[in-house]
Amino acid sequence: MLNNFVMPDLYPAAPEIFLLLMSFLVLFVDLVFGATHRWMAAMLTVITLIGCAAITLVTSDGQTTLTFSNMFVDDLLADFLKLMTYLAVIMMLIYSRQYMADRGLDKGEFYVLVLYATLGMMVMISAANLLTVYLGLELMSLSLYGLVAIDRDNTRATEAAMKYFVLGALASGLLLYGMSMIYGTTGSLEIGGIAQALYHGQAEKPVLVLGLVFLVAGIAFKLGLVPFHMWIPDVYHGAPTAVTMFIGSAPKLAAFAMALRLLVYGLLGRDGEFAMHWQQMLLIMAVLSIGLGNLAAIAQTNIKRMLAYSAISHMGYMVLGLMSGVVDGQVDPFTAINAYSSALYYTVAYVLMSLGAFGMVLLLSRSGYEAENLEDFKGLNKRSPWFAAMMLIIMFSMAGIPFFIGFFAKFAVLLAAIKAGYTAVAVVAVMFSLIGAFYYLRVVKLMYFDTPVDSAPIAAGLDLRVLLSLNGLAIAGFGLFPDAVMIICTTTLMRSL
């Protein structure tokens, strides 16, 4: 048997391999120097990610390459999403440096787990086979469970990790079950093979649809769509803020990739005839997420919980784009690419805003003090007009008010939805965004109209301040000039689909 073994082409997976090797180095360095030089592991992690970015950029040729017996794909979409992931993780590491150090959590494990979670995301992004999807997903999820519980003595965090683990394991089970059924009826684990089987009508439809239901449930869990959203508020609330920031940013990109690969690449069916089955499910979940997310966020007094519900509603808006690609069982390439690229754009925009919002929470936190209540934002304009302005930008952007990136993201998905004939859904979505505007406005109200309760000077370091300022300005800048990122998203999908 061994004679048949052909060495796979490792070139497309170079970033993943590099990251894996470097993670061993981080482990080793932490073992040797961890007690005295904690900064080394952190620095090495950032260098690893920058190295990954460089490798991804250099090896990116815009071609779709399959390797590892068609289990792993390297295309422009993968490259773009990976670059965004590195960026999000690097930003997260810089944002959280001081926070983790103040709490004694900047241990080597933190950095290694972050790297493994990142590796999991990269595998998910590049998955061309159901097993690869699952492998990446589990690597990411297990690392995240560990990260949530990294503050071992904190009961709330451990509880959150437990909840996340149990629900996550259930979701993984559902996903696997769905995969097994799809494998059973199509006879293929390869996403391309599944698409072929569907195209030729070789799959038994009832089994396929049943499998799809479980698959969509698994995807919805990772995106945090209603009714699979229960874990989001508790985990966001319970985890250390830096970890919340991590969960709330880069994994959304990976989950988007998973949804796109499984549903659009795999389960579109001949001329998109099968798409209506998952589109209906996504439609219902999108509307429920937008509705519940926005309504429940109003009732929150904790900003992490508020942002958790806001994340649920944002993913609902994103899915509006994802479900609008196939109209009436017809695939029009232009419509499809516009719809999927609007969802991609929404995800990227959301990650940027989410990082900024949690960055603000980290900015106001200091040693021994978690600024996680809305009250902590009271009178921020008096304490620091500049960062109050940054938070104002982030909040209005999340609410979808122009000139910020969040508006153009919403605009793009609404346009896609209306084009696909979901005008009524679009009206419902904008009405809920009106409700959503209320709780974002409340944060602005606390900052600008109220007097501070906490008058301590802001203790955050220069790195956090600079990054947060850049983050806020990027949200405004990409709002004034949204063209570049939109073109990148469209081109990426055009070259990868």
Partner 1 sequence: MNSQLLSLAIWVPILGAVPVFWIGSERRTLVRWLSLAVAVAGFLVTIPLYTDFDSTQSGMQFVEQAPWITRFNTQYLLGVDGISMPFILLNSLITVLVVLAGWEVIEDKQAQYMGAFLIMSGLMNGIFSALDGVLFYVFFEASLIPMYIIIGAWGGPNRVYAAFKFFLYTLLGSLLMLVALIWLFLESGGSFNILDWHQLRIGIVPQILIFIAFLVSFAVKVPMWPVHTWLPDAHVEAPTGGSVVLAAIALKLGAYGFVRFSLPIVPDASHQLAPLIITLSLIAVIYIGFVALVQTDMKKLIAYSSISHMGFVTLGFFIFNQIGVEGALVQMISHGFVSAAMFLCVGVMYDRMHSRMIADYGGVVNTMPKFAALFVFFAMANSGLPATSGFVGEFMVILGAIKFNFWVGFAAATTLILGAAYTLWMVKRVVFGEVGNAHVAELKDIGGREFLVLGVLAVCVLAMGLYPFPFTEVMHASVDNLLKHVAVSKL
Q: What is the 3-state secondary structure (H, E, C) of 141-209?
A: HHHHHHHHCCCCCCHHHHHHHHHHHHHHHHHHHHHHHHHHHHHHHHCCCEHHHHHHHHHCCCCCHHHHH
Q: Which residue of 83, 441, 474, 494 would you call a contact of partner 1, by CB under 8 A? A: 441
Q: How far is the CB of 476 from partner 1 (least distance, A)?
A: 11
32 binds partner 1 (CB under 8 A): no
**361-400 residues near partner 1, rule: CB under 8 A:** 381, 385, 392, 396
Residue window 75-114: x/- pattern of binding to partner 1, with contact defined by CB under 8 A: ----------------------------------------
Stretch binding partner 1 (CB under 8 A), from 246-254, 256-264, 348-356, 430-438: 430-438
Q: Helices 130-148 & 155-186, crossing angle to 10 degrees?
A: 170
Q: How many CB atoms neighbour CB 299 within 10 A?
A: 10
Task: Give the HSE-up count for residue 112: Cα atoms under 13 Å, Cβ half-sphere.
Answer: 17
Q: Which residue of 167, 209, 295, 418 would you call a contact of partner 1, by CB under 8 A? A: 418
210 binds partner 1 (CB under 8 A): no
Sign of the torsion angle spanned by Cα atoms 198, 203, 205, 211? negative
Taking the chain, what is the end-to-end CA distance rounded to the nearest angstrom?
A: 35
For residue 7, give the amino acid letter: M
167 binds partner 1 (CB under 8 A): no
CA 461 – CA 465 distance, rounded (Å): 6
Q: How far is the CB of 302 from partner 1 (least distance, A)?
A: 21
Q: How far is the CB of 255 from partner 1 (least distance, A)?
A: 24
Residue window 444-473: x/- pattern of binding to partner 1, with contact defined by CB under 8 A: xx--xx------------------------
CA 145 – CA 243 distance, rounded (Å): 10
Q: How far is the CB of 313 from partner 1 (least distance, A)?
A: 15
Identify the H or E element spanning 205.
Answer: helix 205-223
482 binds partner 1 (CB under 8 A): yes
- C-beta closer to partner 1: residue 14 or 430: 430
20 binds partner 1 (CB under 8 A): no
CA 15 – CA 123 distance, rounded (Å): 10
For residue 324, give the amino acid letter: S
- The count of residues interacting with partner 1 (CB under 8 A) is 35
**309-348 residues near partner 1, rule: CB under 8 A:** 338
495 binds partner 1 (CB under 8 A): no
CA 376 – CA 388 distance, rounded (Å): 12
CA 182 – CA 134 distance, rounded (Å): 14
Q: How far is the CB of 401 from partner 1 (least distance, A)?
A: 6
CA 332 – CA 345 distance, rounded (Å): 20
487 binds partner 1 (CB under 8 A): yes
- C-beta closer to partner 1: residue 50 or 424: 424
Residues whose CB is less than 8 angstroms from the CB of residue 399 and which lie 6 or more positions away in sequence, other chains included: 406, 433, 436, 437, 440, 441
Inter-residue contact 339 to 366 (CB < 8 Å)? no
Q: How many CB atoms neighbour CB 389 within 10 A?
A: 17
Q: How far is the CB of 381 from partner 1 (least distance, A)?
A: 8
427 binds partner 1 (CB under 8 A): yes
- C-beta closer to partner 1: residue 176 or 287: 287
Q: Which residue of 126, 294, 433, 496 would you call a contact of partner 1, by CB under 8 A? A: 433
Helix-then-strand count for the chain, H and E: 20, 4
490 binds partner 1 (CB under 8 A): yes
CA 373 – CA 4 distance, rounded (Å): 61
- C-beta closer to partner 1: residue 186 or 492: 492
Contacts with partner 1 by CB under 8 A lie at 338, 381, 385, 392, 396, 401-403, 407-408, 411-412, 414-415, 418-419, 423, 426-427, 430-431, 433-434, 437-438, 441, 444-445, 448-449, 482-483, 486-487, 490
